């Protein structure tokens, strides 16, 4: 997560849901939707299909909600974002800008959240 931004509850909620579901949602149409805010390019990501659909409708895009597995996000998408200077824009809404997170931080935080979720579900081994 960007060090200049205080941790936002939306980000914590996103991580918790993504870890439980082992994935999250993006908007796709011949490629992942990229958006720019304050000069920073980001790919919007969401904890739920409905949130993705709502935000997509608010910006009037032809992109549709598509699930992203944690494996695909960590092994393929985040490295591509890092290489191209794209941030993850977590949980934007029609009223709120996204929580901007660097791809490496997102990957590490998703793995940490997954470990926490598995420990809660299965206990320590």
- Say which residues have a Cβ less than 8 Å from residue 105's Cβ, sequence separation at least 6: 1, 2
For the chain, the domain total comes to: 1
Question: Helix H segments across the chain?
Answer: 9-21, 49-58, 70-72, 78-84, 103-122
Give the CATH number, domain containing residue 93: 3.40.1350.90
Tell me which DSSP letter residue 111 carries. H
Q: What angle do CA 2, 113, 79 make, to 5 degrees?
A: 55
Residue 29 lies in a domain: yes
Expressed as residue numbers, the domain containing 50 is 9-117
Residue 4 lies in a domain: no
Residue 3 lies in a domain: no
Could you read off the pLDDT of 29-84 as tens digits, one per residue? 999 999 998 899 999 999 999 999 999 999 999 999 999 999 999 999 999 999 99
Tell me which DSSP letter residue 86 carries. P
Could you read off the pLDDT of 16-26 as tens digits, one per residue? 999 999 999 99
């Amino acid at each position: 997560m960007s060090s200049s931004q205080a941790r936002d509850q939306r980000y914590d909620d996103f991580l918790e849901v993504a870890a439980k579901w082992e994935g999250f949602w993006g908007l796709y149409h011949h490629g992942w939707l990229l958006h720019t805010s304050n000069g920073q390019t980001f790919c919007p990501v969401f904890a739920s299909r409905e949130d993705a659909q709502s935000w997509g409708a608010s910006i009037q895009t032809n992109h549709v909600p598509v699930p992203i597995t944690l494996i695909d996000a960590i092994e393929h998408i985040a490295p591509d974002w890092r290489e191209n200077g794209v941030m993850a824009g977590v949980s934007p809404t029609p009223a709120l800008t996204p929580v901007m997170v660097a791809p490496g931080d997102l990957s590490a935080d998703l793995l940490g959240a997954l470990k926490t979720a598995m420990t809660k579900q299965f206990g320590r081994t």
